[in-house]
Structure 1
Amino acid sequence: MPTPAVSAARTILTRLHDVMASRNHAQAKLNTVVEVIGESLNSEVCSIYLLREGMLELFATRGLAQEAVHVTRMAIGEGLVGTIAQNSEMLNLAEATAHPDFSYRPETGEDKFHSFAGVPIVRRERAVGVLCVQHVDPRRYEEVEIEALQTVAMVLSELIANADLVDEEDVASLSPQLSGPQRLQGLVLVKGLAAGAAVFHQPRITIEHVMAEDRDAELQRVYLAFDKMREQIDRMASQAEFGVGGEHEEVLETYKMFAYDEGWSRRIIEAIDSGLTAEAAIERVQQRTRMRMRQIDDPLLADRMHDLEDLSNRLLRIVSGQMGTAASMGLRGDSILIARNLGPAELLEYDKRRLKGVILEEGSLTAHVVIVARAMGIPVLGRVRSLRGVVREGDQLLLDGDQGNATVRPLPAMVEAFEARFAKTKERQAAYAALRDVEPFTRDGTRIKVMMNAGLRDDMPNLSLTGADGVGLFRTEFQFLVSATLPARERQTRLYRDVLDAAGDKPVVFRTIDIGGDKVLPYLRHNDGEQEENPAMGWRALRVALERDGLLKVQARAMLEAAAGRTLNVMFPMVAEPWEFEAARAVFEGQRQFLKSQKKLLPEAIRYGAMLEVPALAEQLDVLAPHLSFLSIGTNDLTQFLFAADRSNPKLAERYDWLSPAILRFLRRVQQSVAGYDVDVTVCGEMGGRRLEALALLGIGIRRLSITPASVGPVKELVRKVDLADITEAMNRWLSAPPANLREALTGWAHERGIDTD
């Protein structure tokens, strides 16, 4: 039985079919279209605005003053209609005048209408018009009505194109001039430098026919396309080059789950039932997905939606017979891939020898494609807006995945400077690699422990490549983030055992699951389901694990079984008070007793540690320290809590300085407060991986660092140039009487001694 949305769309499309097939001129067709939509939706007003000479012109209306047709015009971004065109997004308002962008046009006679709903008419990914309805009574339009409007907007797009009602030059005028160098800013997803020609992942497929002539034939086409797409995904999953059991395998399994999702395929079939062609049905469902993506605050769910869009694009290319992506056509030289978003399977199709980097309009740190790109060694820049409006196919690009920017059409001097920096980076990497087997002793003979952070099985080869002393922080939550369901205990055990095997005789510190905040799992939510106003300080990390103790019990047993016959180092995140640490340790000890009763082989020893991120814990270290084997200071969260400055807010960047006397005094006090106990103190996070900040940490007594693999070489090289007595004396002096700018003072001190702090 058809759903209400299908029935509403089918009713309108059936009536529009005759309108489209008639010999009437385009204006007459538009006049009839607004009548059909208005009657079908029982709406007193229906209007169509089209882009002409850079303005949105009222082309046809039912309910507004006819004298306003071809007279009322609005700029892109002006009024509700202009806002819809500018953002290419739907509006659905019970009271139009309450919207901040409302603009009253007296010649239309619209003052008596309260409710308003509008959708963009899209052609070649740009809004070329707006279809809207209005009603006297204040009410939001139902979802089925909005879906019907969006379906009709697709039909209007075809009519507009066939009748040449919108000039291509008008559409092109919406884009900025594509000449001269431009700098694009984005979010660093995978670090690294890259240069190459811009290649668009997929040329846009233009849907020429929206309304179906033969429903059964369209269904047959889409059924065959589904079969072919699933065959491709299965083949790619079996041919991935990452070995067996890695996170990439889990990512692709989740991707396959979407490919076989019955709900997705059913929505496409329903769209065909309403009267659309196979191509239009796929596009229609994809538009709905995009609209919902914009409403999702949950980054993990948004990433799942990106996977679904990737599959939609693949299905659309198959059903239309336009199979040519940049991957299938082959890269001709060093290339930077440009895409709105990218699925993991899409990335795997590319020639890794020529693909040098990726720039995405969307993307996030937890996206599946980022995990795959990191393993491939490809830098990725995400959240770069309006890429298609700034970059042309073939434009030269310089991608700086360290600083988070890209330069389009660089001047020769820019290219020369970038190449020099690239060459210098390669030289430095080679010099750091030569330190792999060199132990980091200071000039006065003190051994500093330089460990690395990890979170994936595929990070472990970096342990031998960098010569790190061990893994000071293994983020176990990554396995949970790439999985569609809670990872089974056996799978967790396999991961932890593989990591320990790869580490050999070097220690690995496993941090128990740290989710919440910006790391949300769709299958593990708070009971009340409400959105947290401040998730960074909310239901996350150890708080989640203690409330959902089944989660921690499974993880504890998996770690204990994986570490059988070895030493297990386990750390609890975001401990605020000693009782939380004791409660978490009790869970592990309970599981150890259970395994012992089952005659299972146990770890030789268990070392328990806490991560100091919540400042309150520093006030009770004398209570906690006797029970600790180690204390890891998580500088990222700790600093934002100390300064009350959200580290993800760019407006607060200057307030988030690791070389502030406040944070350095705090860290020195923490170090000194546990000095009388047998507790290893490690600084984990980005702070310890920066050479200048690492220098300051050495000066306040820190002797253990856990940093990114890329930072291990540079920090080892720094350590060998430092005299601890010298830097300790300087730091004590500066923290007793802070200079106006401690960063400048420390930089000058280092340069006087020939220590490079870059």
Structure 2
Amino acid sequence: MTAAAAARQILTRLHEVMASRMHAQGKLDRVVEIIGESLDSEVCSIYLLREGMLELYATRGLNQSAVHVTRMALGEGLTGTLVENNETLNLAEAKAHPDFQYRPETGEEKFHSFAGVPIVYRERAVGALNVQHVDPRRYEDIEIEALQTTAMVLSELIANAGLVDEVDASGSGGALDGTQTVNGLTLVKGLAAGHAVFHQPRIEIDQVMADDIEAERQRVYRAFDKMREQIDNMASQAEFGVGGEHEEVLQTYKMFAYDEGWSRRINEAIDSGLTAEAAIERVQQRTRMRMREIDDPLLADRMHDLEDLANRLLRIVSGQLGTAATQGLRRDTILIAKNLGPAELLEYDRRKLKGVILEEGSLTAHVVIVARAMGVPVLGRTRGLRGMVREGDEILLDADHGTATLRPSQQIAEAFDTRFAKTREKQAAYAELRDVEPFTRCGTRIQVMINAGLRDDMSALAMTGADGVGLFRTEFQFLVSATLPQRERQTRLYRDVLDAAGDKPVIFRTVDIGGDKAVPYLRDEAANMDENPAMGWRALRMALEREGLLKAQARALLEASAGRSLYVMFPMISEPWEFDAAKAVFDEQLDFLKVRKKILPESIRFGAMLEVPSLAEVIDILAPRLDFLSVGTNDLTQFLFAADRANPKLAERYDWLSPSILRFLNRLSNALVGQEVDLGICGEMGGRRLEALALLGLGFRRLSITPAAVGPIKELIRQVDLAEIGDAMNRWLVSPPADMRTELREWAAERGIEAD
């Protein structure tokens, strides 16, 4: 039997129960019997949220004396866990789960298997529908889908009967009053203040079971046509210039809108007897389940794009088309959303949209790429936010430090305003340094460059007065594409970047994908087995194995640089032969273009990125072949300390001013003295004033940093005497102080250098 047929059979029986004149308790008692019989499950139970506790409301197979007696808190036991997390559990052996709790009054000790789904009302889990079986076994997908469909029907019944705690319109059990601070993950840095606006008012599904299946199918067909028309119109708008990465993001988004598999699943849900709205919601629930199971952050982000489209489709089919964007923003706004698709963000009035807070979200999400280009600060991973804030609440967003203050007191608001004003003053002062060359007090010119990855990042060169791009991450184009970018498209991007840079140098890092930057169109068994993806099959390792990938990029870079200077940097090099192999690919493509009498680059300089510590041990061998070397401090530090920088528990466990990393960098700098190799830093370390001060003392004369850090670092450089800081660093490295950070800060303060 198909999933649709099985669900339809259950829905037909449930429809009769719902239409009967039985009281609510009698209906629930009948529901557990129907589910238990249909799934051949010895136990079926319903728990509902009452007065903040989950109460056993109906059961088939457990002791009837436990009904209305067994109660548990959210997060307590398997049922409390699935309701708190709003997720499905499917366990062959319930007792093996760490959250299992035995309730003797239920008589459940003889049952091994357990499956449970949340009963969701207004985006909030208000109960659970569970089944259990004597034999250890995982329930089939068809059975889980039947439970989830039943849970949708139950949500309608229990809401109408008033059986659960009241849920307010925001989807919470009542938003909190008073000042509250929410912590999250910084996705796009910045400060913002405004009033809370919910991106998407909840669409209420009034009818779950369909009266006429064919009529529901036609409603969905019409909604799909309208949604695709909207997406086509968005994708054709030149929001950020023709051919930009943002356009590629929207093309990927468009691909989902035309995905036949998605529309087929919605049709199957309608076949089971659901209305168009309920069918879309049913498939959306399944998508959310899959998102929780996906480890690959890129694929998970694409699932978020699909959820965004499902929300759009649901609004169209229900006739409730209004979103905060379409209704218009009336004042400075902090947008609140569970997740947000890139197309939906583009619909907002950028004059009023000051910031975004997401309950989910990640650094690799498509919406983050677009928000960064728009200059909108974004805070993510603020779990349960909708339960803490009301529409119209004042919010102070500090995405620099990963916090948001809800309903601030006057004192907090004034302090934030003061800080905001100082930030604007500092930015104005830094802007005045735009055309000032960064010379030290002793007259040494330091190169201050920016890191970039998108065509639109290039505008930062003019705004900051940076010396060029010290790191252009070419992988962004690969990460936002649904398929491997063609050579012509790569060439167009690189040419546009060079055009935007003018006579300033751009160092292109060859593609760094794979490992923790997985793309679906380049799969490999070895990569899938990586337990430590950051140290796995990625970057140059992948490019050398998939030679066609590097060949296409080499040719694109050479053609784009015709008549100009080309700077190429290879990432993740651990031994000299890897550099030689990568350069050989470029030499081969250069010969190819020479034979065909193509215009060649005026000059080509090759460099390496030092992220793998082993390269430092053979740098004397590689140095004669290098034009420049850039130290990638982010990866280098995590490899030196064996500390995953993505793990929040380890984020504070190592310090860039630790003697171990400073000694490593000093040894590297000394090894290159007398060599004609331009030594620089790429990464966050160079963009922090105190750390930059230490790097200047170690002999680094080129810093490639975020555009926002250019002004502060230029200001710092103008206060420094290199001989003084060099002598101090030499003393400290021979005999390290107990706290290098404090020692360096005090040294700077004595000389009037503002280093923090």
In the aligned structure 2, how far is the partner of 1:486 from the partner of 1:343? Answer: 22
> Counterparts in 2 of 1:205-224, with a 5 A limit?
205-224=203-222
In the aligned structure 2, how far is the partner of 1:557 from the partner of 1:488? Answer: 11
Instruction: Give, as a single letter, the amino acid of the residue that structure 2 aligns with 1:588.
Output: F
Does residue 480 of structure 1 match 2:468?
no
Shift of 1:350: 0.6
Shift of 1:237: 2.0
Unaligned runs of 5+ in 2: none
Shift of 1:757: 1.4
Moved more, 170-179 or 732-741: 170-179
> Counterparts in 2 of 1:598-617, with a 5 A limit?
598-617=596-615
Match of 2:528 in 1: 530
Shift of 1:58: 1.8
Match of 2:315 in 1: 317
In the aligned structure 1, how far is the partner of 2:531 from the partner of 2:73? Answer: 36
Query: What TM-score, normalized to structure 1?
Result: 0.98
Match of 1:657 in 2: 655
Match of 2:302 in 1: 304
CA contact (8 A) 2:165 2:173 kept: no
In the aligned structure 1, how far is the partner of 2:208 from the partner of 2:171? Answer: 26
Instruction: Give, as a single letter, the amino acid of the residue that structure 2 aligns with 1:396.
Output: E
Match of 1:741 in 2: 739
In the aligned structure 2, how far is the partner of 1:706 from the partner of 1:529? Answer: 30
> Counterparts in 2 of 1:78-477, with a 5 A limit?
78-168=76-166, 175=173, 178-477=176-475
In the aligned structure 2, how far is the partner of 1:527 from the partner of 1:533? Answer: 12
- Aligned residues, how many? 756
CA deviations 1:138-167 (Å, max 9, x no partner) are: 110001100110001000111111222224
Q: Aligned to 1:626, what secondary structure does the other structure show?
A: helix
In the aligned structure 2, how far is the partner of 1:149 from the partner of 1:305? Answer: 23
CA deviations 1:716-737 (Å, max 9, x no partner) are: 1111111111111111111121
CA deviations 1:245-292 (Å, max 9, x no partner) are: 111111111111111111111111110110001110000000000011
Q: Aligned to 1:606, what secondary structure does the other structure show?
A: strand
Instruction: Give, as a single letter, the amino acid of the residue that structure 2 aligns with 1:446.
Output: T
CA contact (8 A) 2:171 2:387 kept: no
Moved more, 10-19 or 299-308: 10-19
Instruction: Give, as a single letter, the amino acid of the residue that structure 1 aligns with 2:81.
Output: T
Q: Aligned to 2:515, what secondary structure does the other structure show?
A: coil
Change (3 A) 1:376 1:170: closer
Change (3 A) 1:523 1:235: same
Q: Aligned to 1:651, what secondary structure does the other structure show?
A: coil
CA contact (8 A) 2:187 2:363 kept: yes
In the aligned structure 1, how far is the partner of 2:739 from the partner of 2:528? Answer: 43
Does residue 58 of structure 1 match 2:81?
no
Instruction: Give, as a single letter, the amino acid of the residue that structure 2 aligns with 1:45.
Output: V
Moved more, 25-34 or 649-658: 649-658
Report % sequence identity: 78
Q: Aligned to 1:388, what secondary structure does the other structure show?
A: helix
Shift of 1:169: 6.5
Change (3 A) 1:594 1:173: closer
In the aligned structure 2, how far is the partner of 1:721 from the partner of 1:95? Answer: 66
In the aligned structure 1, how far is the partner of 2:627 from the partner of 2:174? Answer: 59
CA contact (8 A) 1:647 1:656 kept: no
Change (3 A) 1:701 1:415: same
CA contact (8 A) 2:461 2:501 kept: yes
CA contact (8 A) 2:172 2:386 kept: no
Instruction: Give, as a single letter, the amino acid of the residue that structure 1 aligns with 2:290.
Output: R
CA deviations 1:42-88 (Å, max 9, x no partner) are: 11111111222222222222222222222222222222111121111
Q: Aligned to 1:653, what secondary structure does the other structure show?
A: coil
Match of 1:641 in 2: 639
CA deviations 1:673-705 (Å, max 9, x no partner) are: 111211100111111111111111111111111
In the aligned structure 1, how far is the partner of 2:78 from the partner of 2:644? Answer: 33
Query: What TM-score, normalized to structure 2?
Result: 0.98
CA deviations 1:317-372 (Å, max 9, x no partner) are: 11111112111111110010010110011001111000000011111122111111
CA deviations 1:475-522 (Å, max 9, x no partner) are: 000010111111000000000011111111111100001113331111
CA deviations 1:623-655 (Å, max 9, x no partner) are: 000000000000111111111222222322333
Shift of 1:378: 0.5
Give RMSD over aligned pairs: 1.5
CA deviations 1:559-581 (Å, max 9, x no partner) are: 11111111111000010000111
Instruction: Give, as a single letter, the amino acid of the residue that structure 2 aligns with 1:80.
Output: L
CA contact (8 A) 1:565 1:601 kept: yes
In the aligned structure 2, how far is the partner of 1:741 from the partner of 1:48? Answer: 58
Shift of 1:174: 7.4
CA deviations 1:15-60 (Å, max 9, x no partner) are: 1111111122222211221111111111111111122222222222
Q: Aligned to 1:568, what secondary structure does the other structure show?
A: strand
In the aligned structure 1, how far is the partner of 2:573 from the partner of 2:187? Answer: 28
Match of 2:547 in 1: 549
In the aligned structure 1, how far is the partner of 2:423 from the partner of 2:87? Answer: 43
CA contact (8 A) 2:194 2:394 kept: yes
CA deviations 1:180-203 (Å, max 9, x no partner) are: 222111111111110000111011
Change (3 A) 1:662 1:198: same
Moved more, 712-721 or 103-112: 103-112
CA deviations 1:81-114 (Å, max 9, x no partner) are: 1112111111111111221222222222222211
Instruction: Give, as a single letter, the amino acid of the residue that structure 1 aligns with 2:504.
Output: K
Match of 2:715 in 1: 717
Instruction: Give, as a single letter, the amino acid of the residue that structure 1 aligns with 2:742.
Output: E
Q: Aligned to 2:508, what secondary structure does the other structure show?
A: strand
